[in-house]
Amino acid sequence: MKKPLVLLSAMLFSLAVQAQTTVSGYVYGDANSNGKKERREKGVAGVAVTNGREVALTDRQGKYELPVGRENIISVIKPRGYKVALNKENLPQFYYIHKPQGSPDLEFKGVTATGKLPKSVDFAVVPYEEKEEFTALLFGDPQPYTKEEVDYFARGIVSEVKGVRNVQFGLSLGDLVGNDLSLFNPYIKAVRNVGIPWYNLLGNHDINFDAQSDSLSDETYEAHFGPANYAFNYGKVHFIVLDDVLYPDPRDGKSYWGGFREDQLDFVENDLKFVPKDHLVVLAFHIPLSESEEGDAFRDKDRQRLFDLLADFPHTLSLSAHTHLQKQDFFSREAGWKQDKPHHHYNAGTTSGDWYSGRLDKDGIPESTMRDGTPKGYAFLRFDGNRYVIDYKAAGHPKEYQLELFAPKVVPQGRRTSAGIYANFFMGSGQDTVMYRIDGGEWKEMAYQQDYDPAFLNRLHAWDFAEALVPGRRPSNAARSTHLWRGNIPTDLELGEHTIEVKATDMFGRQFTQKGSYRLEAPKAVKEGI
């Protein structure tokens, strides 16, 4: 006799859940930081709240109201001058997941059923002194496939920035793990040790591959990190974080494609309505906007609509990772950008480098230099109002290490040589100037070229010509570097050692230097008949 009652209760619950078409609540100043709205705590007016598509501002009492469907994550867009609570893992708590039925049955667990909406979905913010001059820390692709690689990441990257000072928050640019989503928790525990608020975004190795639609491919990500599309303010900078992995690929139902769904771009459009035009807009996602050597990596119409939405914002920057290379792109009007000043897109180097490959260092951690010769590492974004500079930090090296020089050790005096002096300027692009001089002489401009980094090729050759197995895993084959310069080797100098100096001027007007040397010897006689 109980079964009909149980079924009736379930049906009534389901109908009640489906009947909920709006969500409302307050954004309030949490005076005692306990995460509970109390009578004496006032609402904060003019704060943006989103359901992932629509964006509403709170009224004078701090109240908002938004449409809600069967699957929404409601999130507050952190206003300038306030902070949100962190959980014990240093993850910002700025959202409420509304999935009454929970996630579908997937290989990796998603969101547990949340049931009926609370009467009021409130968001606590705490007044906080934010300066217009601040720094954020960027991690590209931690991407561990095993717990051993989580350990490499923790010891090779996190330990180097543990307790970092004067950095307001961090952001990982996707591929937090490598397909095994059970590694989300070990990753979270590793990054917690940096000791600062940490934001995340979704990469193509963070998705539910058994999902039947793109909107359901981030269920396990959401259970650990919250919305895959969100925004927040800090100082005079507005950050927009997006999932740009379309899975399954809408072209053939297989693999993935770079791009955005319509609801995501609607969110960007609605969000930007409340952003002052003189603020810097920083967009972050995993797959770069530019075309790759492999072909059509990003859906053109989505890039164009994004550019159209940014047409009235003169200060912009976008960030990505994914390629395990480092590259600067500048989108002009010819590429669909709507302003005379090109849009800067920074495709960041990765913390996993070349997927934890290469020789092991003294601590047993893979060297993992990337295929374009960029060392594994991380980046600091330094903001001053609506301006920014980017500093790349090669892991395990001094912060001054921004260039890798390559030259032959010895060259015959007085003879022409096809060998050259190469400078790999890790943060460089074809727009930068790189100069060199020999023995303190006249500075000469080096020639920019997109080619394979000879220093990286040398690392590969060390593996391929080794007569015994080398510990670790052979690096991937080389990719053309977009930050490589070449200079000729003078051979008309005295015998002996000669000093090479290289200086590079980056897009922000700063100079970096590096030194090397080569040796001139008397040519060896060639025996007749040989």
Mean pLDDT of 201-221: 97
**196, pLDDT greater than 60:** yes
Question: Where do you find CATH 2.60.40.10 in the chain?
Answer: 2-125
* CA 476 – CA 468 distance, rounded (Å): 19
**293, pLDDT greater than 70:** no
CA–CA distances in Å: residue 85 to residues 22, 78, 88, 230: 25, 11, 10, 16
* Fold classification of 403-521 (topology level): Immunoglobulin-like (2.60.40)
Q: What is the chain's mean pLDDT, rounded?
A: 94
At 49, list the tokens: 């709240």
* CA 235 – CA 216 distance, rounded (Å): 34
**Dihedral, CA of residue 173, residue 77, residue 267 and residue 222, to nearest 10:** 50
- At 1 the pLDDT is 45
- Burial of residue 72 (CB within 10 Å: 0-12, 13-18, 19+) is buried
**231, pLDDT greater than 80:** yes
Q: Express the helix, strand and coil content of the chain in percent, nearest 5 each.
A: 15, 30, 50
Question: How many Cβ atoms are within 10 Å of 477's Cβ, its own excluded?
Answer: 10
pTM: 0.94
pLDDT band at 296 (very low <50, low <70, confident <90, very high): confident
**13, pLDDT greater than 50:** no
**8, pLDDT greater than 80:** no
* CA 311 – CA 314 distance, rounded (Å): 8
- At 292 the pLDDT is 65
- At 2 the pLDDT is 46
**128, pLDDT greater than 80:** yes
* CA 288 – CA 248 distance, rounded (Å): 18
Taking a C-beta distance cutoff of 8 angstroms, is the pair 160, 396 a contact?
yes
**525, pLDDT greater than 90:** no
* CA 235 – CA 278 distance, rounded (Å): 12
Mean pLDDT of 131-160: 98
Taking a C-beta distance cutoff of 8 angstroms, is the pair 160, 119 a contact?
no
**CATH match for 130-394 among 3.30.930.10, 3.40.50.10860, 1.20.120.790, 3.60.21.10:** 3.60.21.10
Contacts of residue 78, Cβ cutoff 8 Å, sequence gap at least 6: 84, 92, 94, 125, 232, 233, 234
* CA 200 – CA 137 distance, rounded (Å): 12
Class level of CATH domain 2-125 = mainly beta
Coil, strand or helix at 371 = coil
Question: Where do you find CATH 3.60.21.10 in the chain?
Answer: 130-394
Q: What is the maximum span of the chain, computed from C-alpha positions, in angstroms?
A: 108
**6, pLDDT greater than 80:** no
Instruction: Output 494 or 13, whichever has higher pLDDT.
Output: 494
